[in-house]
Amino acid sequence: MLIFWTLTGLACALAGLLILSAAGAAGGAAASGPEEDEAARGRALARDLEELDRMAARGVLVGAELEAARAEVARRHLEADVAVAAPVVDTAGRLRQARWVLAGTGVTALAALALYIGVGSPGVADQPYARRVAEWAETPGMLDAPKLAAVMEREAANQPENFEAQALLGAARFEAGDPIGAASALRRAAMLRPDDAQTWARLGEALVQTQEGEVGTDAEMAFLRALALDPGQLGARYFLGELALQRGEAARVHEMWSPLIAALAPTDPRRVDLESRLPSLSGSEG
Amino acid sequence: MIVELGAFALCLALALSGLQVVASVAGRLRSSPVLAGAGEGAGLAAFLAVGLAFGVLIYAFVVSDFSVSNVALNSHTDKPMLYKVAGAWGSHEGSLVLWCLVLTGFGALLARARTGEAGLPFGLKAVAVAAQGGLGALFLAFVLFTSNPFVRLSPVPVEGASLNPLLQDPALALHPPLLYGGYVGLSVCFSLAVAALIEGRPGAGFWPAWGRWIRPWALASWALLTAGIALGSFWAYYELGWGGWWFWDPVENASFMPWLAAAALLHSAVVTERRGALIGWTVFLALVAFSLSMLGAFLVRSGVLTSVHAFAVDPERGLMLLGILGLTAGAAFTLFALRAGQLTGRTLFAPISREGALVVNNLFLSVAAATVLVGTLYPLVLEAAGGATISVGPPYFAVTFTPLMAMALIILPMGPLLGWKRGDLIGALQRLAWAAGLSLLFALIVWGLFRPREALTGAGLALGAWLVLGALAELTERIRLFGKRTPGELGRRTRALPLAAWGMTAAHAGLGLFVLGAVVETGLKVETARPLEIGQTVAAGPYQATLRAVEIIEGPNYLAESATLEVEPLGGGRPETVRAEKRFFPAGGQTTTEVGLSFHGLDDVYLVLGERRLSDSGERAWTVRMNWNPWARLIFLGPALMALGGLLSLLDRRLRTVDTTRRKRSPA
Amino acid sequence: MRRLLILAMMLGLAGPALAQEPPATPDRPLANAEQEARAQALFEDIRCVVCQHESIADSPAGVASDMRRWVRDRIAEGQTDTEVRDGLVARYGDYVLFTPPVRLGTLLLWGLPLVLVLGGAGVLVWFARRRSGQIEPDADLTTAERTRVDNLLKAARTGPEDDATLPPKTRDGTS
The pLDDT of residue B547: 94
Classified as helix, coil or strand, C46 is strand
- Give the separation between CA B254 and CA A197, rounded to whole angstroms: 59
Residues of chain B with CATH 2.60.98: 526-629
Q: What is the CA radius of gyration of chain C?
A: 35
Average of pLDDT values for A50-68? 72
The pLDDT of residue B344: 74
Q: How far is CA B51 from CA A5, B39, B149, B269, C154, in A?
A: 19, 18, 14, 32, 48
- Give the separation between CA B646 and CA B635, rounded to whole angstroms: 17
Check pLDDT > 50 for residue C161. Answer: no
Quote the distance between the C-alpha of residue C125 and its chain's center: 29
Q: Which domain holds residue C84?
A: 30-99
- Give the separation between CA A22 and CA B33, rounded to whole angstroms: 10
Residues, chain B, total?
668
A122 chain-B contacts, CB cut-off 8 A: 4
Convert the pLDDT of each residue in C60-94 to its tens digit.
778 888 899 999 999 999 899 999 999 999 988 88
Check pLDDT > 60 for residue C18. Answer: no
Check pLDDT > 70 for residue C149. Answer: yes
Q: Do B363 and C124 touch (CB under 8 A)?
A: yes
Minimal C-alpha gap between A216 and chain B (Å):
16
The pLDDT of residue A30: 53
- Give the separation between CA B84 and CA B86, rounded to whole angstroms: 6
User: What percentage of chain A reaches a pLDDT higher than 70?
Assistant: 87
Confirm or reject contact between A79 and chain C (CB < 8 A).
Answer: no
- Give the separation between CA A266 and CA A260, rounded to whole angstroms: 12
Q: Do A45 and C159 touch (CB under 8 A)?
A: no
The pLDDT of residue B313: 62
Task: Give residue ranges of C with CB < 8 Å to any A CB.
Answer: 4, 7-8, 11-15, 17, 137-141, 145, 148-149, 152-160, 162, 166-167, 169-172, 174-175
Minimal C-alpha gap between A268 and chain B (Å):
36
Check pLDDT > 60 for residue A286. Answer: no
User: What percentage of chain A reaches a pLDDT higher than 90?
Assistant: 20
Q: Do A132 and B44 touch (CB under 8 A)?
A: no
Convert the pLDDT of each residue in B452-466 to its tens digit.
778 888 899 999 999
Give pairs for A42-45: CB < 8 Å, separation 24+.
A42/C152, A42/C153, A42/C154, A42/C155, A42/C156, A42/C157, A42/C159, A43/B117, A43/C156, A43/C159, A43/C162, A43/C166, A44/A77, A44/A80, A44/B117, A44/B118, A45/A73, A45/A74, A45/A77, A45/C149, A45/C152, A45/C153, A45/C156
User: What φ, ψ does residue B161 adopt, rounded to 5°?
Assistant: -90, -5
The matching CATH number, chosen from 3.40.449, 2.40.160, 2.60.98, 1.10.3430, for B526-629 is 2.60.98
CB nearest to C6's CB, from B243, B382, B591? B591
Confirm or reject contact between C27 and chain B (CB < 8 A).
Answer: yes
> Between C30 and B61, where is the model more confident?
B61
Could you tell me the residue ranges of all domains in chain A? 2-119, 129-277
The pLDDT of residue B491: 80
The matching CATH number, chosen from 1.25.40.10, 1.10.3720.10, 1.20.200.10, 2.130.10.10, for A129-277 is 1.25.40.10
Where does the pLDDT of residue C172 fall: very low under 50, low under 70, confident under 90, or very high at 90 and above?
Answer: very low
Convert the pLDDT of each residue in A28-54 to its tens digit.
765 544 455 667 777 777 877 887 787
The pLDDT of residue A274: 84
User: What φ, ψ does residue A27 adopt, rounded to 5°?
Assistant: -65, -40
| Closest to B12 measured CA to CA, from B53, B54, B57, B56 | B53
Q: How far is CA C125 from CA B21, B229, B423, in A?
A: 43, 35, 17
The pLDDT of residue B23: 95
SS3 content of chain C, % helix, strand, coil (to 5): 60, 0, 40
Check pLDDT > 80 for residue A202. Answer: yes
**What is the CA angle B381-B382-B385, rounded to 5?**
85
Axis crossing angle, helix B2-29 with helix B33-62, rounded to the nearest 10: 160
Q: Do B32 and A120 touch (CB under 8 A)?
A: no
Handedness of CA A184, A185, A188, A189 (dihedral sign): negative
C164 chain-B contacts, CB cut-off 8 A: 661, 663
- Give the separation between CA B190 and CA C131, rounded to whole angstroms: 31
Q: Do A22 and B206 touch (CB under 8 A)?
A: no
- Give the separation between CA A113 and CA B453, rounded to whole angstroms: 67
Beta B590-594 vs B576-585: how paired, if at all?
A: antiparallel
Confirm or reject contact between A46 and chain B (CB < 8 A).
Answer: no
Convert the pLDDT of each residue in A124-156 to its tens digit.
999 999 999 998 988 877 888 888 888 888 888
The pLDDT of residue B204: 57
Check pLDDT > 70 for residue A285. Answer: no
Beginning with the edge strand found earlier in the chain, give each strand of the sheet holding B543-554 in spatial order: B537-540, B543-554, B559-569, B576-585, B590-594
- Give the separation between CA B210 and CA B229, rounded to whole angstroms: 28
CATH code of the domain in which C48 resides: 1.10.8.640
Q: HSE of C85 in the Cβ direction (CA atoms, 13 Å)?
A: 16
Average of pLDDT values for A99-106? 92
Check pLDDT > 50 for residue C1. Answer: no
- Within a domain: residue C84? yes
**CA distance between the termini of chain B:** 48
Convert the pLDDT of each residue in C106-126 to its tens digit.
889 999 999 999 999 999 888
Minimal C-alpha gap between B51 and chain A (Å):
12
The pLDDT of residue C83: 92
Number of Cβ atoms within 10 Å of the Cβ of B620: 14
- Give the separation between CA B607 and CA B594, rounded to whole angstroms: 9
- Give the separation between CA B624 and CA B622, rounded to whole angstroms: 6
Beta B559-569 vs B596-600: how paired, if at all?
A: unpaired
User: What φ, ψ does residue B515 adopt, rounded to 5°?
Assistant: -60, -45
Beta B620-629 vs B603-614: how paired, if at all?
A: antiparallel
> Between C21 and A271, where is the model more confident?
A271
Q: HSE of A124 in the Cβ direction (CA atoms, 13 Å)?
A: 24
The pLDDT of residue A105: 94
Convert the pLDDT of each residue in A154-171 to its tens digit.
888 888 888 988 898 998
Average of pLDDT values for C7-30? 44
Q: HSE of B209 in the Cβ direction (CA atoms, 13 Å)?
A: 31
pLDDT under 70 in chain B at which residues?
Answer: 116-118, 202-204, 306-314, 345-347, 481-485, 653-668
Query: What total number of domains does chain C contain?
Result: 1
Burial B497-509 (b: 16+ CB within 10 A, else e): ebbbbbbbbbbbb
Number of Cβ atoms within 10 Å of the Cβ of B96: 24
The pLDDT of residue B325: 94
Beta strands in C55-140 (DSSP E): none
Beta strands in B524-570 (DSSP E): 526-532, 537-540, 543-554, 559-569
User: What φ, ψ does residue A119 adopt, rounded to 5°?
Assistant: -105, -15
- Give the separation between CA A154 and CA B230, rounded to whole angstroms: 41
Decide: A253 and A241 in contact? Cβ < 8 Å: yes
Check pLDDT > 70 for residue C14. Answer: no
Is residue B155 reached through a cis peptide bond, with omega within 30 degrees of 0 on the bond before it? yes
| Closest to B219 measured CA to CA, from B507, B542, B7, B636 | B507
The pLDDT of residue C4: 34
Give the 3-state DSSP-derived string for B331-376, with helices as H, strands as E and coil as C.
Answer: HHHHHHHHHHHHHCCCCCCCCCCHHHHHHHHHHHHHHHHHHHHHHH
The pLDDT of residue B443: 92
The pLDDT of residue C136: 52
